[in-house]
Amino acid sequence: MPQMAPISWLSLFVLFTIIFILFNMMNYFIYFPLTSKSKNLNKIITNSMNWKW
């Protein structure tokens, strides 16, 4: 079985790096956060606990 030349390892690395970057960019820009849920998060109910020592 012949050995692979270093230039083909370099071209494979470049190819997989480009595919990885494109995949991450597509996942990042396709995601649309829902704004209706974020409006309800502004009403945070806090129960103050006054300690009586």
- pLDDT 10s digits, 26-53: 999 998 877 665 555 556 677 777 777 6
pLDDT surpassing 80 at residue 15 = yes
Higher pLDDT, 16 or 41: 16
pLDDT surpassing 80 at residue 8 = yes
> Could you give the count of Cα atoms lying within 13 Å of 36 in the half-sphere of its Cβ?
0
Q: Per-residue confidence at 1, pLDDT binned at 50, 70, 90?
A: very low
Amino acid at 23: F
What pLDDT is stored for residue 11 in this prediction? 92
What pLDDT is stored for residue 16 in this prediction? 98
